[in-house]
């Protein structure tokens, strides 16, 4: 049975059942680091998908519907900043938090701003990574709640306006 839409069960996914755990998409070319991140996120209560390489992230975003994306900057086919830009330029996914990370942080400072929500230099502290992920997920959830409430209020005000408008015409 589907739950009615409310701010308590607000979830980006439109499938038959909401996910119980926040979903993290990781783009990481190194298999060892990918496995370590996957295990870390699973033990911390997140669902995690590791993708080794991609040049177009939007199909992956559509199929997995993550709540947060973590991207290594140095990839072989395209840099992680360009994947971040693809996400941030997409109307449906632009509000999803993106963390870029690299062992060469000076690359990002000298190239341009890709619109990422956070940047972490490797090697990063696990506690800092988990704190950053949680902070961005909470901020994103609050933005979605606010957007949902604003949309609901707008609809109710429109209804009241139409109702009062028709009542005034009848009088």
CA gap 38, 32 in Å, rounded: 10
Q: Is the residue at 132 inside a domain? A: yes
Q: Is the residue at 17 inside a domain? A: no
DSSP 92: T
Residue entry with tokens 């739950």 = 3
The confidence score (pLDDT) of residue 99 equals 95
pLDDT digits 0-9 by tens, 55-73: 999 999 999 999 999 999 9
pLDDT in tens, the chain (171 residues): 333 333 333 444 444 445 579 999 999 999 999 999 999 999 999 999 999 999 999 999 999 999 999 999 999 989 999 999 999 999 999 999 999 999 987 776 655 678 899 989 999 899 999 999 999 999 988 777 767 677 777 877 777 777 777 655 554
Q: Is the residue at 166 inside a domain? A: no
The confidence score (pLDDT) of residue 143 equals 74
The confidence score (pLDDT) of residue 70 equals 98
Q: Is the residue at 62 inside a domain? A: yes
Q: What is the CA radius of gyration of the chain?
A: 20
Q: Is the residue at 35 inside a domain? A: yes
* CATH code at position 64: 3.40.50.2300
Beta bridge mates, 102: 121
DSSP 3-state of 109: helix
Q: Is the residue at 155 inside a domain? A: no
Q: Is the residue at 168 inside a domain? A: no
Report yes or no: 97 and 76 within 8 Å, Cβ to Cβ. no
Q: Which domain holds residue 30?
A: 23-143
The confidence score (pLDDT) of residue 159 equals 77
The confidence score (pLDDT) of residue 169 equals 57
The confidence score (pLDDT) of residue 8 equals 37
H or E segment at 87?
A: helix 80-88
CA gap 163, 157 in Å, rounded: 10
Q: Is the residue at 81 inside a domain? A: yes
Q: Domain count of the chain?
A: 1
CA gap 65, 11 in Å, rounded: 10
């Amino acid at each position: 049975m589907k739950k009615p839409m409310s701010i308590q069960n607000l979830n980006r996914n439109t499938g038959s059942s909401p996910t119980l755990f926040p979903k993290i998409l990781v783009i990481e070319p190194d298999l060892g680091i990918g496995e370590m991140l996957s295990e870390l996120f699973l033990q911390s209560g997140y669902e995690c998908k590791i993708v080794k390489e991609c040049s177009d992230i939007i199909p992956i975003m559509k199929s997995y519907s993550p709540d947060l994306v973590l991207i290594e900057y140095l990839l072989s086919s395209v840099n992680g900043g360009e994947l971040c830009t693809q996400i941030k330029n997409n109307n449906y996914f632009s509000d999803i938090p993106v963390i870029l990370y690299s062992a060469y942080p000076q690359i990002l400072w000298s190239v341009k701003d890709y619109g990422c929500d956070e940047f972490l230099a490797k090697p990063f502290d696990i506690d800092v990574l988990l704190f950053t992920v949680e902070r961005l997920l909470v901020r994103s959830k609050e933005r979605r709640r606010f957007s949902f409430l604003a949309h609901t209020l707008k609809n109710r005000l429109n209804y009241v306006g139409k109702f009062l408008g028709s009542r005034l015409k009848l009088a």
